[in-house]
Chains A and B, each alone.
Chain A
Amino acid sequence: MRIYLDHNATAPLGAAARDAMLRALAHGGNPSSPHQEGRAARHAVTTARLQVARAVGVSERDAERCVVFTSGATEANRLMLSAATRLLVSAIEHPSVAGPARRRAATLIAVDPHGRLDLAALATALSRGAPGAWLSVIWGHNELGVIQDVAALRALTREHGARLHLDATQVLGRLPIDFAALGCDALSVSSHKIGGPQGAGALVLASGVGLSDEAAGHQERGRRPGTENVPALVGFGAACEALPARLAAMPAVAALRDRLLRGLSGWVQPVVSPAEVPTLPNTLSLRAPGVEAEGLVMALDLAGVAVSQGAACSSGSAEPSPSLLALGLDEGAAREVFRVSLGPETTAEDIEEAVRRIARVLGHIAGGGA
């Protein structure tokens, strides 16, 4: 029996999304065409947009203007950063933000050993000239699970006239999102983390936030031109419709996550402890001292358990994650960190069996692997 514990990498396609996509695939049509086939496709995309808007707390009236469809959160992040002239980011951003930020010499804000943004350091950096600057922060961390204090980030940036972008890729479907109430200026979300298909995401923008229009096409009001991936967007929308059930399942997911941690307590330590800092209900960043995660992930795969290492990937093999190094781990310790991430589909049996298999593999490796 395969036990899939890598939901932060991608989630299984939900039935609602699949059924909606199959219908869309049967219909075809280019949403930009004036005829019946085109209109049907246009309607499908509009419906999806409203579904996404509802899921993140954007009003129906604002949906067309505020929700920009993209191919995923990476593209949404890149699109967002391209509009920022002065940029501040945390030291633990996803590569889709960290890479461009580095290339543009963005100001890096340090995090504490739990991965929370250092607010004092942020205040200092903002006070050096903020108006018009953008702060981009990963709201719920894909590897560590740590959740940032977005209310505090909003207050600080507002105080200095700076704008706030939140990467909510791992938050959608796990915590409630109310874009209007948050008051942030931009938000990135992804379809395939919530049971929708890969290849779809959105950049949600507050009114008054403009993106360049290179006149490369008219779709998405010129902000992200190109024929829409109708089936994928339909699947994304359907997954958003199904979000309430996912959100409702999160307390149970958190309980299973805690059970896994307890079951392995003799073997592993959490890098960021859910007991000490708010973390995503489904995510565990773990370390078995003395055991390299690369080999552990391989051994677990062969034992039927899918987990992951630090997320950074270069030429096919994993490098120690910059986020772990930013937390203060040395390279050796960073190489020992692996990630377990659950989903609403994960059962108690899965977790019991996972604990057995992980403990057995760790026992074998720690015992000299002979």
Chain B
Amino acid sequence: MKRRRVVVAMSGGVDSSVAAALMVERGYEVVGITMHLADAPPTERTGTCCAPDDANDARRVAAHLGIPHFVANYKSAFKTAVIDRFVADYQAGLTPSPCVRCNDVLKFKLLLSRARELEADALATGHYAQVLDGSHGPELHRANDRAKDQSYFLFGAQRDALAQVLFPVGGLTKPEVREVARRHDLPVAEKAESMDICFVPDGDYARFVEQHAAPRPGVITDEAGAVLASHAGVHRFTIGQRKGLGLGGGAPRFVIRIDGGEGRVVVGGAERLDSRGLRADRVNWLAQRSAGDAVLVRVRHGSEPVPATLVEADDHALVVRFDEPVRAVAPGQAAVLYDPARPSWVLGGGWIRESLAEVP
């Protein structure tokens, strides 16, 4: 009987390497593809998407597993869909979430399309998340290892894509994943994790934006509009920020709003950071929900989902009211919804357009 073919997105890291090993264990015909997304600065050898050593690591793992391996050049699409958008979002006063964009465009669209071209039945990645069979089709769920869960970045997967995507490590903890790597003698079993956004390996997002766009200085004001200081660009600020404002002493002040168009950063007291709700657009629904339904909402990757109620919901947009105020909701980030009855289940998500001080 002909084996089912699966394409595994191999970044050279231990998670995707183990994903490939698990698919081989399960008897699939595995094809590894490393996506070349950006040219690493000459000094960076690993830990960025497609630093030369990372691609070599993927190659070595593939050779070790006895599977074909290819490198796919997606630099142009990555630049347009992820990098340019990242820079534009920051300049518009938003706090971007480039990893969501990368998953939406590079993985669920381009790489999945390539997998179909290669007559693969599925695309597997090393993401910590799970796809489970539900009564209405495939469901996206959080990973077993809650600390490693990456479901926040995957809410944009379309339903038909979910039917063809596999997350082999989603049911394992990180220590279990390293154990699988050791069991298979993978060359990357002890490789360190890269923590930053792959195309900004030193984590200096401000400098990255400045290298890619002309400077747009502006002013920092209070809510009444009084100018308190000047700044070198709104991209240096995010909602809730307290440090680096250059405002001197006095009561603590926080960034409460950023007007990208005007280049204005608005500060206020801590109490002004509390949000009662949010509006999100470009929503991707993974389940049927309507106004009045209770949900859990996550407004950034690092925080726990909090209880809320859907106040408005249509095909493209939603408004939620939090049960308790949430601090520092940042437009540009994703708002991802989970089911209160089954909290691992991702109901959908969208892009935060506005933090709401009041929700009717």
Contacts and interface: CB of A to CB of B under 8 A. Distances in A.
A314 B50 CA distance: 11
B44 to A, nearest CB: 12
A370 B34 contact: no
Contacts of A294: 72-73
A302 B68 contact: yes
A220 interface: no
A316 B68 contact: no
A302 B116 CA distance: 13
Given A315-B36, A315-B39, A317-B73, A299 B119 contact: yes
Contacts of A364: 117, 119
A210 interface: no
A175 to B, nearest CB: 33
Contacts of A314: 39
Contact of A299 (B36, B55, B71, B117): B117
B287 to A, nearest CB: 25
B7 to A, nearest CB: 9
A370 B121 CA distance: 9
B34 A369 contact: no
Interface string B59-84: 10000000010111101000000000
A365 B118 CA distance: 8
A22 interface: no
A301 B113 contact: no
A302 B55 contact: no
A318 B118 CA distance: 18
Contacts of A370: 116
Given A301-B68, A302-B68, A318 B117 contact: no
Nearest to A291: B117
Contact of B71 (A295, A302, A316, A368): A316
Main secondary structure of the interface of B (DSSP, over half): mixed
A312 to B, nearest CB: 11
B70 A298 contact: yes
Contacts of B68: 301-302
Contact of A302 (B72, B75, B118): B118
Contacts of A369: 113, 116-117, 119
B34 A316 contact: yes
Nearest to B56: A316
A319 interface: yes
Nearest to A368: B116
Nearest to B75: A317
Contacts of A365: 117
B117 A317 contact: no
Contacts of B187: none
B114 interface: yes
B124 to A, nearest CB: 16
Contact of B72 (A301, A317, A368): A317
A318 B73 contact: yes
Contacts of A299: 117-119
B52 interface: yes
Interface residues of B, number: 22
> Which of B34, B72, B113, B118 has the most CB atoms of chain A within a 10 A radius of its CB?
B118
Contacts of A317: 36, 71-73, 75
Nearest to A302: B118
Nearest to A309: B73
Interface string A118-149: 00000000000000000000000000000000
> Which of A301, A318, A319, A369 has the most CB atoms of chain B within a 10 A radius of its CB?
A369
A336 to B, nearest CB: 13
Contacts of A319: 73
Nearest to A297: B70
Nearest to A366: B117
B113 to A, nearest CB: 7
Nearest to B59: A316
Interface string B110-126: 00011011110000000
Contacts of A315: 36, 39-40, 50, 52, 55, 71
> Which of B31, B55, B59, B119 has the most CB atoms of chain A within a 10 A radius of its CB?
B119
Interface string A339-370: 00000000000000000000000001100111
Contacts of B116: 368-370
Contact of B118 (A298, A316, A368): A298
Interface in B68-104: 68, 70-73, 75
Contacts of B31: 298, 302
Contact of A295 (B36, B40, B50, B114): B114
A295 B75 CA distance: 15
A288 to B, nearest CB: 12
B10 to A, nearest CB: 12
B55 A295 contact: no
Contacts of B72: 294-295, 298, 317
Interface string B24-38: 000000010110100
Nearest to B35: A317
Contacts of B33: 298
A347 to B, nearest CB: 25
Nearest to B37: A317
Contacts of B71: 315-317
Contacts of A298: 31, 33, 70, 72, 114, 117-118
A365 B119 CA distance: 9
> Which of A294, A299, A315, A369 has the most CB atoms of chain B within a 10 A radius of its CB?
A315
10 contacts: A295-B117, A298-B70, A302-B118, A315-B39, A316-B59, A317-B36, A317-B73, A318-B73, A368-B116, A369-B119
**A-B pairs with lowest CB-CB distance, top 9:** A317-B73, A369-B117, A317-B36, A316-B71, A317-B71, A369-B116, A295-B117, A316-B55, A298-B70
Given A298-B114, A299-B117, A369-B117, 9 more contacts: A295-B117, A295-B118, A298-B31, A299-B118, A299-B119, A315-B52, A316-B34, A316-B36, A369-B113
